[in-house]
Structure 1
């Protein structure tokens, strides 16, 4: 069944977004790709040459709510919110919510939540990260740019963002896989990127003061200092991702507490989080839950332009009770609770062991807001769900070909190796195609076959009922480097 194509007329897999880098005259000509604005002026010296994305709903969702006193409910991705997939737009990001978050970080009083930032335990954080400083302008940070490409949207309870800058050569992607409702994923989509961007201003401004000058190419001590500075910067980036997530969690749970009398369901709403930042040759990842980032790389010593074998490397951890390390951690953290895992789920409720939100498994008073069978019995030693993310930085090599990031709905049906093999085969034979959309199509084929349906029959089942057969699915494929067949794999529908 794998490799079969889906006709667009048979289902709703019709919309995805793409960003193509085809400068230097050797890319696909302008106008060659339907639905994607060709950017021939984009330089070819970045670390990625293309990204494509696609998504498919399985869950039925309600309209946006008034979480955060209406600030998030009224304008979260208003023109992008598509239950079938997500669209590509060109814009410069608004600073309205960034200004709110900036004042929160400086005054410890947020207009979004009126809650103070929660401290995050620092792990080998450099002293410059902790200094009091004035807020730099947007132009101070490598994450800022005069012109950026922004894409975002929704599929069921999944939310997705992609932001990239051609001039500063960075790419930010995030998938928020919501559950028990869409409020947590909406909150993340509306605040996390701008919180991260604000914090990067601080890091970049300070780190510039610590870059040593090099008077001689033979000055080994200077090179050593530069390596230390580079390592410190990478640690600072990871720390910023960590702190931004902690701030978002603190703000969200505070708002849940304020509104749970009117909406007690908010205490059970949560989201997995997967953030990927590509800057220079460094690929940073942060994750909570079971979304994945999978790197496709050629075996060492093989020529990628010939028959070298691709292997799949998972860059993120799977935070579920099926992961023996996570299960052991959970049991050890609750020695007085004989049943932290019930029927293969944390307290019988969640398969994931780390997640954003889901306050009723973290605070007793939030659990008490629930009635009857919804309330967790014997909540002996909360929190049972951790908000401590897994963080990783990978230095991209010439052997690295592409990265797949996706919500767990993709990996319910495809292994890491299958997904990598499908993408590689597809971009080799379809130079003008969309590998992310192709992966979603292959998932639909497998899900339909498993349920005994044709693919058309499965796609005709309305969202909500179709959740019996597959989860919401969001996929982004990033083609790395400038020498990885970019003329054949630099376009997306």
Structure 2
């Protein structure tokens, strides 16, 4: 995940700890306790500019993990990093616990707040209209795992299984990509924009949303642990 410039290495070390194997582009922290067990984080710098964000948050109502992939700049991912979890906590408190409906409300409220910011900032910062974020959120509450995905970020669950008298870890994908490279998604996006027959275009060998506008749609998934 793209996270930091080299010049920001020291603040990142304060957050995540040591660099992995002396690699200046990778940071990690060892296992630490949270409300549902232990967690660890590893971060790898992939882009020149700081665009992506991530966070872990715990409360009596649950444990939340968020990864926000920035597109076209850091403004959207930083905004989500600051606003999404407070909305999750607010709606979960109001409704007596976490649920798929709470997550939907938190995502919608965050999106509405960001659109309001874009409208206010557009005259002096027109670039803000071209930024976006693919967001992936996981939450554990009352032994239920929730995953919310916007865009084509992925959540994978590692499970320990026994095979030939040996234990091994296998990956189970929990989220569904929402990308116009999938025909079903293209039709959905086109249906949402009936006045623009060219909202989805095929260019340079791939399907894309027209121009640089980021269109984010929401997929929610939950399962009993």
Q: TM-score range by the shorter chain?
A: 0.7 to 0.9
Aligned in 2, Cα 1:334/1:191: closer, same or farther, shift over 3 Å? closer
With CA pairs under 8 Å and 6+ residues apart, which has the higher RCO, 1 or 2? 1
Return the alpha-carbon distance in structure 1 between the equivalents of residues 129 and 194 of structure 2.
25
Return the alpha-carbon distance in structure 1 between the equivalents of residues 160 and 145 of structure 2.
17
Matched, 1:318 2:210: no
Return the alpha-carbon distance in structure 1 between the equivalents of residues 75 and 179 of structure 2.
22
For structure 2, the 5+ residue unaligned runs are 1-18
Return the alpha-carbon distance in structure 2 between the equivalents of residues 330 and 50 of structure 1.
39
1:232-247 matches, cutoff 5 A: 237-247=99-109
Which residue of the partner structure matches residue 486 of structure 1?
A: none
Q: Is the 8 A contact 1:18 1:50 kept in 2?
A: no
Give the TM-score normalised by structure 2: 0.78
Matched, 1:12 2:25: yes
Which residue of the partner structure matches residue 86 of structure 2?
A: 194
For structure 1, the 5+ residue unaligned runs are 1-5, 22-41, 62-155, 205-232, 351-357, 362-384, 397-493
Q: Deviations over 1:135-188 (max 9, x none)?
A: xxxxxxxxxxxxxxxxxxxxx2110110235xx483210011111110111111
**Partner SS, residue 99 of structure 2:** helix
Return the alpha-carbon distance in structure 2 between the equivalents of residues 341 and 348 of structure 1.
6
Return the alpha-carbon distance in structure 2 between the equivalents of residues 249 and 60 of structure 1.
26
1:247-266 matches, cutoff 5 A: 247-266=109-128
Return the alpha-carbon distance in structure 1 between the equivalents of residues 207 and 194 of structure 2.
17
Return the alpha-carbon distance in structure 2 between the equivalents of residues 331 and 349 of structure 1.
15
**Number of corresponding residues:** 204
Return the alpha-carbon distance in structure 2 between the equivalents of residues 7 and 159 of structure 1.
19
Return the alpha-carbon distance in structure 2 between the equivalents of residues 335 and 170 of structure 1.
40
1:283-362 matches, cutoff 5 A: 283-298=145-160, 302=162, 306-308=165-167, 310-334=169-193, 337-339=196-198, 340-343=200-203, 344-349=206-211, 358=213
1:190-229 matches, cutoff 5 A: 190-204=82-96
Return the alpha-carbon distance in structure 1 between the equivalents of residues 61 and 110 of structure 2.
26
Q: Deviations over 1:245-291 (max 9, x none)?
A: 11111111111111111110000011111111012320001110111
Aligned in 2, Cα 1:347/1:271: closer, same or farther, shift over 3 Å? closer
Q: Specify which structure has the higher proportion of strand.
A: 2
Q: Deviations over 1:36-56 (max 9, x none)?
A: xxxxxx8xxx7x432111112
> Superposition RMSD on alpha carbons, in Å?
2.8
Give the TM-score normalised by structure 1: 0.38
* Structure label with greater radius of gyration: 1
Which residue of the partner structure matches residue 44 of structure 2?
A: 56
